[in-house]
Structures are given as structure tokens and as C-alpha cells.
Amino acid sequence: MPKTAAVNLEPIRRQIGQLCQQIRHHEYRYYVLAQPEISDAEYDALLRELEALEERHPRLVTPDSPTQRVGGIPDDAFRPVSHRVPMRSLDNAFSREEILAWHQRVMKGTRGAQPTFVTEPKIDGVGLALTYRHGLLAQAATRGSGEVGEEVTANAKTIRAIPLRLRGDAPRLLEVRGEVYMTINAFQLYNKRAADMGEEMFANPRNAAAGSLRQKDPRVTAARPLRFFAHSYGAVVGSRFAAHWEFLQTCRRLGLPITEHAAHCRSIEEVIEYCQRWEAQRDRLDYEADGMVIKVNELALQGRLGMTLKSPRWAMAYKFPAHHATTQVLGVMPSVGRTGTVTPVAKLKPVACGGVTISSASLHNYEEVQRLGVKIGDWVVIQRAGEVIPQVVKVIDSKRTGEEQPIRVPTRCPECGGAIAKEKEEEVAYRCVNPFCPTQRVRRLIHFASRRAMDIEGLGEVVAEQLVDKGMVSDVADIFGLTKPNLLALALFGDKKAENLLSAIRTSKTRGLARVLYGLGIRHIGEKAAMVLAEHFRSINRLLAAPEDQLCAIHEVGPVMARAIVAHMSHPSTTRLVEKLREARVTLSQEASKGSKMLHGATFVFTGEMSSMTRHDAEALVRQRGGQATSSVSRHTDYVVAGANPGSKSQKAKALGVKILNEAQFKKLLRKRWPVVSDQ
């Protein structure tokens, strides 16, 4: 039989390549330059032509093709991602005087240099870090805690403003940071369609962006009108920038959208004038902005100024005054938090405030209700300054009719019907005292499984809610009795996912007493206090029997903490829980390992990015060996451990003569404490 002639795919490959190039060009014109050259219908036609060609020739589909924006959620979706450089928050200023005070600190810190500034609107969106390797989008992660975010690559790829491939000559690695947001017009249209179809509406554009970015199905995210602006970077390899303004222009060249309202200002007076101009016309912006971000432009001066524990010294946010509106309180609903705290939330007559329709507002606590004198039926002034739930700030007494009704503290929990009371008369908060309240149960379960507690990967919010709703888990100890058939009965669980979660649960049993104590969620007891208690008592039985005076004798434990520990440990439900954990063979002791006190009395400070462990893990290793990990360098600091891109702490250590270790020296020190000489 004659052989079938081989099909020459090269012309088709070229045609697909040309279509991809055309589509990327038009996305760049639309999202980056805001200068579209074709209509939406013409763009859609190009995309359909590409889809048809790729469907006939699937071997020619490339990962960065515009058709590959929507795919399945991979197994590692929403897994924790440690940021190379923490995504810091900014200090705030609320007046011209506070901007000038910040400028004086900058001038002092730059020691006579004359910085320029970049000023841009502070978009009220959701922080996102995009990692490009050789120009291709490799990972997207949410801001999260600033140190650790969540993997959302599949969903980020659906946002057409985010290029899958950078234009031109891209750096070998670029981690660019920005905000995912929804324009006000798009938000209003989306909510209108949702209302027409009887679907849930979003409270505001930021809420809409956050909810859309964490969808299990990327097709849902793709259907939401999300946009993206780049504003900074965390890491870059293969390129250098001398100034922030240069970085922004590079973003535009690479195809990454930036705000068109960024300005390069030569003086602080120019900065203030620009801030005041946008404060007066912020309603002209097509996105929510709650202020202006001001940054020192020169990167060398940024490095000289350095960071505090929470914020860069070279940047700040000037916050616009809050939006206000007047509306009526229609009712008050109590809301139950993770620790059982009951918060009153005012249900309002819907009112427009800062471009968003407000129908609820926080009253914080019942003492605040009394202070404001607010009643059901009152007309009130509400304030919105970027919060998801605005605040009631004032009652309009002149509008009272005499028919207003007082707001009373509920006596029963709205979730479980349990009693509500103050634990101490001097406290402000009322709490649901039922330890088996379903709402508290879910949140306690999530906390117990969290990374810094038992680190049970795969047991997140959705799984926790299902386990409680189906009655499979009544307390955290029930996790250890789960079986594969239990998990397969839950939504989105298959064999592999069930086996992975059961394996993570088994592994967590050996975490040790400190992690268990932190996971129990004892009031006032954080991660460090849990470690101190575990190191001191060594077993759960000794801690259960400890009176307040014995706890107060521990240097790091004060009277408030001691009372909270005794109250928690003496509760009958805790006794039952500990017995169930013991039966499940969970380690309830803290073994004294060799060298556990090898760093006793030594104080460490960590700066920069470590390659083999997170900063949090390194600090935990120090504490396990009897040392202390603090956030600031002083003459009492014994060692500063400097990873890649160290900040000002390293410079301060050199000035004070504190020993500086690199990561390898630190690990050597952990193995055996020898005198170490810094080579930096």
C-alpha cells in the first residue's frame, strides 16, 4: 500500500504564531496603552479563528497561547506560597503636615541626598504577585499575610490584562506586584446582571475581585470583569533599575499595565499638590482608590532608608478622607466570630456611598452601641474608608420620632442557641460560651489545621465547613478519626485528594506539644507563648494541673495569659478533647532533644531571603534551641542572619559590631555551636 503523504504543519504553525502575535498586540493596545485598534467583535473573531486552528492541530498549542487562559484548577491550587521578599503594608498619612513629617524623616535618612518621588493612586484592590521566568508567566500568588500567600495561577491566567508572555527582551526572572481590581462601571453592571438573575451580589468592587480570584473553577473567574495594574516588584534577575519610575516604564514596555495617573514629582510640594488634585477629583477615577501612594524614586536611596518591621521607610500612603452618607437603621443582627465574640451589625436602608451601595455597617460591640446611643429606626451617618463593612459614626438626634427601639444584647447565640455572656465583667466583648457552636467549630478547625499549628495541608475552609455540616467533626480531635469513605462523601474529593489529606493528618500527629497548644486556640496564647509553655511543662498533663501562680512565675507569662490558660485547661470540654487526642496517638509532649538549650541566651535577628527555609521556620529553630528571635537589631543582639537582599538591619549590625552570619553559617551554628566569624 502506498504511504500516506506527511502533512506539512509548518504553514499552520506560522499561521497560529501570527494569530497569537496579533491577539497579544491588541491586548497590549487595549489594557496597557488604552488605545484599542479594533472592536471587541473583531478581537473575538481573531480568537475564534485561533481556537479553530488549535482544535484541529492540538499538537501546535503552546502554554502561552491566548486560548490557554482557562484551564482546570491543578492539585496545588491555593497552596501556601512563601514570598521571596515580604509584601509589606504602608504607613499612612492623613494630612499635609503628616506628609511633610514623613519627608523630613526621608531627608534625614538619605543624609543630604535630594530624592525625587513617584506618586500614584492607591487602588483598593487585591494584592497579587506574578512571577515570570524567561518572559513566561510561571506563578501567581495572593498577598496573604505578606509573608505567605496562596497559589492562584490558573485564575490569574484568565485575567486578560495579565500577559501570559512578556513583550520584547524580558528579564530571566521578574516577580512583579500589583492589584487585581474591578472598575466601578463593570462592578455595577455585574451586580445588575446578578440581581436580574437572582444571584448573590457583591458588596463592593474589592470584595468582588477577592471573591473572583479564589474561585475553584477558573471559568467562573474568567466570567468576571477583572483588571490588573502593576505597581512594584519583589525580585528581578537579568535586569537592573536605577529608579522606580524606570521600573514602571519597563512594565509598560513589557506589556504589563500600570496606572495612567502615576506622576514623577521633583519635590515634596509637587507631591502634595498632586495628592490634593486627585483628592478633589477622585470620583473621576473608574476604580476605587482610597488615597495616593508616595515613593522615593531612586532605588539606591530606598535601600539606604530601609524597612521597619511592617513597612518601608521610603514609601507611604496618603489616605483620602472617608466617604460619608446618611441612612436609616432597619435592624441589628449579631455576628459570631472564631473565638465566639458576638458583634452587632446594623442592617441599613440601602444608600450610595463613595460609588458603592451600602446595606450594612459595623457597630463593633455593644459598648459602642451604648456610646453612640444608636437605636433601631434611627437615622445615622455612616463612614466608608475602604472597609468591607463601613462604620456607623453618628446618630442624627433631630430626626427621631419617638418610635425608635433600643438595641439589646442577645442572650442566645444566633448560630447555636447557646448562652451569650461576658467572661469577665471588665471585658467589652460578649461571647457565645458554647464550645460546640458550629460557627466556632469551623473556625477552630481551620486554625488547628493551619500551617503554624498542625500544618494539615488540604484541610482548608471549604473542607472544614463540609466536615462540620455533615457531622463528621465535632471537635479538632475528630480529624484523626476520619476515613477515606468519609472524605469521598465530600464534594470535590477523589481518591488522590482523600489519600493526600489522610497522609497529612497522620503526619501531623508528631508535631509536638507546642504546635498542639497553639492549634487549640487558647485566648492570648500565640505561637511563641505556646512554645514557651511546651518547653516549660514538657507534657500536657503537667500544664493541665498548673495553677495561675505557677504560670505567672514563668517570665513570659502574665496574669491575663495565666487566667486564660487555666480557664481553657480546666474546662470539662478540654479534658475530654485531650483524652481523645491521646487515644488518637497525637504527641502531647515536648521532647528535650540534645542541644535543645545550645542557643540559650542568644538573640537572633533575621533579614533578607533565605533559600532553604522560611524566616518563620528559622526563628522556630532558634526558639527550639533555647534562643530568642527578635525583629530589631540592638547592642544586645548576638547574631544577625542575612539572606539574599538584606535590608537595613544588616547595615545596623555592621555599625554596632554585631556578628553577621550567612545562611550556611547559621545552619552550621545549629549543628554545633562554635564561635563563628562573619565573612561579610
**Per-residue pLDDT, 595:** 47
**Position with higher pLDDT, 656 vs 635:** 656
Mean pLDDT (the chain, rounded): 85
CB 510 within 8 A of CB 587: yes
Q: Residue 448 corresponds to which cell in the numbers above?
A: 488547628
CB atoms within 10 A of CB 179: 21
> What is residue 637's predicted lDDT score, i.e. its pLDDT?
85
Q: Grade residue 667 by pLDDT with cuts at 50, 70 and 90.
A: confident
pLDDT of residue 427: 66
**Would you say residue 145 has pLDDT above 80?**
no
Q: Which CATH number fits domain 513-583: 3.40.190.10, 3.40.50.300, 1.10.1200.10, 1.10.150.20?
A: 1.10.150.20
What are the pLDDT digits (tens) for 241-296?
999 999 999 999 999 999 999 999 999 999 999 999 998 888 788 888 889 999 99
Report the alpha-carbon distance of residue 155 to residue 647 in Å, rounded: 33
Q: How confident is the model at residue 676 (pLDDT cuts 50, 70, 90)?
A: very low
Cell of 617: 521556620
Asked whether this chain's domains 10-69 and 324-397 adopt the same fold, the reply is no
Q: Flag the least confident range among 107-111, 197-201, 258-262, 676-680.
A: 676-680
Mean pLDDT of 127-145: 92
What's the fold here for domain 603-671?
Rossmann fold (3.40.50)
pLDDT of residue 47: 86
Q: Of 1.10.1740.10, 3.30.930.10, 3.40.50.620, 1.10.287.610, which CATH number belongs to 10-69?
A: 1.10.287.610
Percent of the chain topping pLDDT 90: 37
Q: 397 Cβ partners below 8 Å, 6+ apart?
A: none
Over residues 36-82, the pLDDT tens digits come to 788 777 887 888 888 888 888 888 888 888 888 876 555 456 788 88
122, 157, 649, 652: which one is catalytic?
A: 122
Q: What is the pTM of this model?
A: 0.54
Q: Per-residue pLDDT averaged across 491-501, rounded?
A: 90
What are the structural domain ranges in the chain? 10-69, 92-319, 324-397, 438-508, 513-583, 603-671
Long-range contacts of the stretch 538-546 (C-beta < 8 A, 24+):
538/513, 538/589, 538/590, 538/592, 539/513, 539/588, 539/589, 539/590, 540/513, 540/516, 540/578, 540/588, 540/589, 541/588, 543/517, 543/569, 544/569, 544/570, 544/574, 544/575, 544/578
The DSSP-derived string for 363-374 is: --SHHHHHHHT-
Judge whether residue 422 has pLDDT over 70: yes
pLDDT of residue 389: 63
Architecture of the domain spanning 438-508: Orthogonal Bundle (1.10)
Q: What is the CATH number of domain 92-319?
A: 3.30.470.30
pLDDT more than 70, % of the chain? 91
pLDDT top residue among 554 and 577: 577
Catalytic-residue membership of 192: no
Q: Each residue of 425-475: pLDDT tens digit?
A: 656 778 887 766 777 788 889 889 988 899 998 998 889 989 988 989 988
Tens of pLDDT, residues 101-130: 999 999 999 988 999 999 999 998 999 999
230-249 per-position pLDDT tens digit? 999 999 999 999 999 999 99
Check residues 11 and 230 and name the one with the higher pLDDT. Answer: 230
**Tell me, what's the pLDDT at 484?**
93
State the Cα–Cα distance between residues 419 and 384, nearest whole angstrom: 33
| Least-confidence region, from 18-27, 64-73, 358-367 | 64-73
Q: What does the pLDDT read at residue 680?
A: 34
Reported confidence tier of residue 668, pLDDT bands at 50, 70, 90: confident
Residue 35 is predicted with a pLDDT of: 79
Of residues 629 and 510, more confidently modeled: 510
Going by their DSSP bridges, the two strands 639-642 and 603-607 should be labelled as parallel
Cell numbers for 398, please give them: 433631630
Task: Give the integer Cα–Cα distance in Å for 392 and 395.
Answer: 8
Backbone angles phi, psi at 54, to 5 degrees: -70, -30
**More confidently predicted of 528 and 468:** 468
**592 band by pLDDT with thresholds 50, 70 and 90:** low
Cell numbers that stand for 541 in this block: 498533663
492-519: b (≥16 Cβ within 10 Å) or e: ebeeebbeebbebbeebeebbbbbbbbb
Homologous superfamily of domain range 324-397 = Nucleic acid-binding proteins (2.40.50.140)
